[in-house]
Chains A and B, each alone.
Chain A
């Protein structure tokens, strides 16, 4: 259920576990669904021997997609107005990711109530992998 304006205040936080022990299979699922078949994300031999990485790593868009669950859980899919991120570290198979949303503003614009949130997704070492912002429409 989407939050209501009356239920939230600036500074409120919402935490969500995005994935535990990220599997290579999930990278393949994301490749198949999104159409991004870059072998860096599905082909360990290519990633190691040709591209020079320790192995396959997650699409940035997979991490952004998982982080987006915090946004859609909070606002509901139909109420997302804006969602943007910066990718700050790579995500690897085996990673545990969790995300935190912080309410930055609750405001009125064009007859709607909008909520701005800041998002931070971190791995099991506390490294930030994605930083983002989102805006959603909420009911009073």
Chain B
């Protein structure tokens, strides 16, 4: 049951600084870690701590980015085409360096829609809870992904 997986997410000042720089938020640059608070979208970087995260290349395993050939994996079709439709975060308290979060994700609702620009769209929701070592809720994230029938028309 993938849904039962708990990911341990140690929150570190340097990670927050690097994440901040990538979004143009320099609050953590040169700051004392005691004064640092993570940006509201930082919890998403729990991906770094998911041992099975499929969007990270792993040594010795095939990867679907380009190498000798454009697909990276001969004969394998492109990634699912799953795009991000919505993302929501709700905080019970701020996330700070030194926090160790225990993260679980479960499926939410799914629904379908027809679109002119990308064909049939299949939406699905994922709910992620971030709890501290006492089991107290720190943050809840709700993501909505959409799988498109074809790449989104740029016209």
Contacts and interface: CB of A to CB of B under 8 A. Distances in A.
A binds B: yes
Interface of A: 18-19, 26, 29-30, 32-40, 42-43, 45-46, 49-54, 59-62, 64-66, 68-69, 71-72, 76-78, 80-87, 90, 134
B47 interface: yes
A30 B22 contact: yes
A35 B56 contact: yes
Given A39-B64, A69-B24, A83 B40 contact: yes
B40 A80 contact: yes
Interface string B36-52: 01111100111110100
B15 to A, nearest CB: 7
Contact of A39 (B27, B45, B65): B65
Interface in B45-100: 45-48, 50, 53, 55-57, 64-66, 70-72, 78-79, 81, 83-91, 94
**4 cross-chain pairs, A with B, having the tightest CB-CB distances, nearest first:** A84-B88, A65-B23, A35-B47, A39-B65
A60 B72 contact: no
Main secondary structure of the interface of B (DSSP, over half): loop
| Chain B interface size range | 35 or more
Interface of B: 15, 18-19, 21-25, 27, 37-41, 44-48, 50, 53, 55-57, 64-66, 70-72, 78-79, 81, 83-91, 94, 142, 150-152, 154
Given A33-B18, A62-B22, A83 B70 contact: no
B139 to A, nearest CB: 10
B71 A50 contact: yes
A29 B56 contact: no
